[in-house]
Amino acid sequence: MRDEPLSILEKNFALEALQAGIRVDGRKVDEARLVDFEFSSTQHGTVTVRLGKTKVLSSVTAEVVEPTADRPAEGFVTFSVDLSPMASEVLVLEYLSSGRSSSTLEEASEIVRFLQQLIRESNAIDTETLCIVAGVQVWAIRVDIHVLDHGGNVLDACCMAALASLLHMRRPDVTIVGNDVFIHSIEEREPIALTIHHLPISVSFGIFSDGDLVAVDPNLQEESVMEGTLSIAVNAHKEVCAFRKAGGAPMETTAIFKCASSAYLRATEVTMQLEKALSKTNNIAIASVKPLEVETTKKSFPLNEHIEGVTAVWKQVAEQQTYLDNEKLATPSHPGVINKTEFENSADESDDEAFKNSDDLLSSTDSDEEMAMPVIARPKGGKGRSKNIK
Amino acid sequence: MKPLAASWVDVFVFPGDKLFKLEDGDNIRIGQGVFKKGEYLVAVKPGYLHKDGNKVWVETAQKRYIPCVGDVVIGVIVERSSEFYQVDIGGFSTALLPLLAFEGATKRNRPHLTVGSCVYARVVSTDRDSEPQLSCLLPGTQHSWVTGETIFGELNQGNLVHCSISLCRNILLGKNSVFTELGKYIAFEQATGMNGRIWVRSQSAGHIVLLSNLLVCSENMTNEQLNAMIRNLVSKMTATTPTAIDEATNGR
Residue-wise pLDDT tens for chain B (252 aa)?
Answer: 666 665 666 788 899 988 888 888 778 888 888 888 888 889 999 988 888 888 888 888 777 888 888 889 999 998 899 889 999 998 888 899 999 888 888 888 888 888 889 999 999 999 888 999 999 988 877 778 877 778 898 998 899 998 888 889 889 888 888 888 888 888 999 999 998 899 999 988 888 988 888 888 888 888 888 888 888 887 776 655 444 434 444 433
- Cα separation, A124 vs A379, in Å, equals 8
How many folded domains does chain B comprise? Answer: 3
Distances in whole angstroms, Cα of residue B95 to Cα of each of B73, B81, B88, B114: 11, 13, 6, 16
Q: Which CATH number fits the domain that encloses residue B40? A: 2.40.50.100
Q: Which residue of A has its CA nearest to B62?
A: A1
Q: Which domain holds residue B122?
A: 72-155
Let me know if A109 is exposed, middle or buried by CB neighbors in 10 A (0-12, 13-18, 19+): middle
Distances in whole angstroms, Cα of residue A188 to Cα of each of A184, B213, B215: 6, 53, 54
Q: In a mutagenesis test of the B interface, which of A1, A3, A8, A9 is the best target, namely the one with the most B β-carbons within 10 Å?
A: A9
The ipTM estimated for the assembled molecules is 0.81
Q: Which residue of A has its CA nearest to B220?
A: A304
pLDDT, tens digit (0-9, with 9 covering 90-100), for B24-62 = 877 888 888 888 888 888 999 998 888 888 888 888 877
Regarding whether B185 and B150 lie in a shared domain, the answer is: no
Residue where a domain stops, chosen among B94, B125, B155: B155
What was the pLDDT predicted at A204? 94
Regarding whether B88 and B54 lie in a shared domain, the answer is: no
- Cα separation, A238 vs A257, in Å, equals 12
Instruction: Give the pLDDT band of residue A382 (cuts 50, 70, 90).
Output: very low
Regarding whether B199 and B211 lie in a shared domain, the answer is: yes
CB contacts of B116 in chain A (<8 Å) are: 5-9, 11
Which of A9, A12, A309 is facing B213, going by the closest CB pair?
A309
What was the pLDDT predicted at A319? 67
- Of residues A363 and A61, more confidence is placed in A61
Which CATH number is A8-366 given?
3.30.230.70
B147 touches chain A (CB under 8 A): no
Regarding whether B171 and B196 lie in a shared domain, the answer is: yes
Rounded to the nearest angstrom, the minimum Cα separation between A105 and chain B is 23
Q: Would you list the DSSP string of A67-107?
A: PPSS-TT--EEEEEEEE-TTT-HHHHHHHHHH---GGGSHH
pLDDT, tens digit (0-9, with 9 covering 90-100), for B72-89 = 999 999 889 988 999 999
Q: pTM score, two decimals?
A: 0.73
Task: Sketch the domain layout of chain A as residue ranges.
Answer: 8-366
Distance spanning both ends of chain A, measured CA to CA: 50
Regarding whether B189 and B151 lie in a shared domain, the answer is: no
B226 touches chain A (CB under 8 A): no
- Cα separation, A222 vs A297, in Å, equals 22
What was the pLDDT predicted at A4? 53
| B215 within some domain | yes
- Of residues A323 and A333, more confidence is placed in A323
Rg (CA), chain B: 22
| B252 within some domain | no
Distances in whole angstroms, Cα of residue B113 to Cα of each of B80, B99, B100: 8, 9, 12
Residue where a domain stops, chosen among B106, B128, B155: B155
Q: Which residue numbers of A have CB closer than 8 Å to B's CBs?
A: 1-13, 16-17, 19-20, 22-26, 304, 306-307, 309-311, 313-322
What was the pLDDT predicted at A346? 47
DSSP A184: P
pLDDT, tens digit (0-9, with 9 covering 90-100), for A280-326 = 876 543 433 333 344 444 444 333 444 555 556 656 666 666 664 55
Question: Per the CB < 8 Å rule, is B117 touching A306?
Answer: no
CB contacts of B158 in chain A (<8 Å) are: 9, 13
DSSP strand pairing (B29-30 vs B55-59): parallel
| B233 within some domain | yes
